Amino acid sequence: MPIINYASKEIQFKVVYYGPALGGKTTNLQYIHSRISPSYRGDLISLATAADRTLFFDFLPVNSIVLQGFKTKFQLYTVPGQVIYNTTRQLVLRSVDGLVFVADSQWDKMQENVESFRNLEENLGRQHLKLDELPYALQYNKRDLGDVAPVNYLEFLLNNRRRRVRSFEAVANTGFNVFAALDAVTQLLLHKFNREHPTLKPMPAAFPAK
């Protein structure tokens, strides 16, 4: 549920990057941070361990151009992928508007992908949210590596639901399809917002890249 602040004329959307540990969620945000002009984004806040593993979350605020009197803000978060940080993931998922599930394409990460996806469903369920009602996209990351599973298996594992969502082969550290996945989710959530708030249409315009 986006936050609409009528006083400050702002609409805030929260997009969370979810997925198994070391799958590339933080790298996604780092790339997005590096490509957006500083005048349209805040600092990338990373609460990480000394080993650069996400401890709490990464946060990147992105502002858009004011249209129809309302400023549209996107707050991009990542969750810590490690199994032990489930409480943190639940906290980060609160009031989520859209999701990008970052799956690791390597063969030996398939089980972690499935477990993380199920964990996502469980954590959404605790907030009385259903994955099928949320805008989300799948990003099959690390496609540049040699030992990756074919896309049809990833689709079988993660996209074999009643609702088939958009999926993207990606290489987060080069930026391949990072923005495409984010754009897809953003479109979905803006459409959903327009359906739910027909009188209040946020139409954020694109800002120039860095």
Torsion from C-alpha of 83, 167, 170, 148, nearest 10 degrees: 70
Q: Given the complex with other proteins, which of 123 and 167 has the nearer CB atom?
A: 167
Task: Give the chain's end-to-end CA distance (angstroms, integer).
Answer: 30
To other proteins, the closest distance from the beta carbon of 5 in angstroms equals: 18
Interface of this chain with other proteins, residues 62 to 101, rule: CB under 8 A: 62, 64-65, 72, 74
Interface of this chain with other proteins, residues 137 to 196, rule: CB under 8 A: 143-153, 155-157, 159-169, 171, 173-180, 182-184, 186-188, 190-191
Question: What CA–CA distances, in Å, run from 170 to 21, 101, 139, 142, 175?
Answer: 17, 12, 6, 6, 8
For the chain, the residue count is 210
By CB under 8 A, residue 118 contacts other proteins? yes
To other proteins, the closest distance from the beta carbon of 118 in angstroms equals: 5
Q: Given the complex with other proteins, which of 96 and 159 has the nearer CB atom?
A: 159
Question: What CA–CA distances, in Å, run from 88 to 28, 43, 107, 138, 194?
Answer: 19, 21, 27, 21, 30
To other proteins, the closest distance from the beta carbon of 137 in angstroms equals: 8
The rounded distance, in Å, linking the Cα atoms of 165 and 205 is 24
Q: Given the complex with other proteins, which of 93 and 159 has the nearer CB atom?
A: 159
Interface of this chain with other proteins, residues 1 to 60, rule: CB under 8 A: 27, 30-36, 38, 40, 44, 46, 49-53
To other proteins, the closest distance from the beta carbon of 3 in angstroms equals: 17
To other proteins, the closest distance from the beta carbon of 27 in angstroms equals: 7
Query: Within 13 Å of residue 186, how many CA atoms lie on the same side as its CB?
Result: 19
